[in-house]
Structure 1
Amino acid sequence: MDGADFGGMKEQGEKERAQTPAHWLPYFTVSDTERTAAPAPPSHIPGDGPWVATLRDPRGAGFGIHTP
């Protein structure tokens, strides 16, 4: 992405609010989200958005990956 910022916000539904508190999630750019996140199926952000997937590191910290 050549230094371009990537970010967004999503309003949580009532069920999501009950299960997950509001939070920030860091994202990293990868060349192929589907291959990088093979065990976690990626989803496409509507419109011209990127492919994204959310994962956890070995210690349980959440993060996201995206392919522009």
Structure 2
Amino acid sequence: AAAFYNKVLGLETSAVPFPGGTYTCVNPAEGGEDAMFGGIVALADDPTEAKTGAYWLPYFEVPDTDATVARAEELGGRVRVPATDVTGVGRIARLADPYGARFAVIRSAPPQT
């Protein structure tokens, strides 16, 4: 997938380890890693996902991952992966809305200088 997006969109990649695998970050070639806006995880490396084929998992930046998880549960959502710290990336959680649509939330880590 990374090679495809590089050839079609000119995106560059970098790897970040996360519990259970590697997260391949994507960013515009001219922006460098500081412009990272998304990523790719091989389904085989992601034990939390059903092996139903490729899909997109949108991430929403939130001010407080834990508070957002709690609010989602209050409103009928489901926690698929509890809030977890990923070094150099931030605090993430995977959720589903009351109808089963999957999404994730993140409070990004401050840039390292």
TM-score by length of 2: 0.46
Higher relative helix content: 2
Name the residue aligned to 1:61.
Answer: 101
Name the residue aligned to 2:84.
Answer: 43
- What 5-or-longer segments of structure 1 have no aligned partner? none
Q: Runs (4+) of structure 1 moved beyond 3 Å?
A: none
Name the residue aligned to 2:15.
Answer: none
Q: Which amino acid aligns with 2:58?
A: P
Aligned residue-pair number = 62
Query: Aligned Cα RMSD in Å?
Result: 2.4
Q: Give, in angstroms, the shift of residue 35 of structure 1.
A: 1.8
Larger radius of gyration: 2
Name the residue aligned to 1:11.
Answer: 42
Three-state SS of the structure 2 residue aligned to 1:36 is: helix
Kindly provide the CA deviation profile for residues 8-67 of structure 1, in whole angstroms up to 9, marking residues without a partner as x: 111222785xx322211111111010221136321222x311111111111111111000
- What 5-or-longer segments of structure 2 have no aligned partner? 1-34, 74-78, 109-113
Higher RCO (CA-CA < 8 Å; seq separation 6+): 1
Q: Which amino acid aligns with 2:96?
A: R
Higher relative strand content: 2
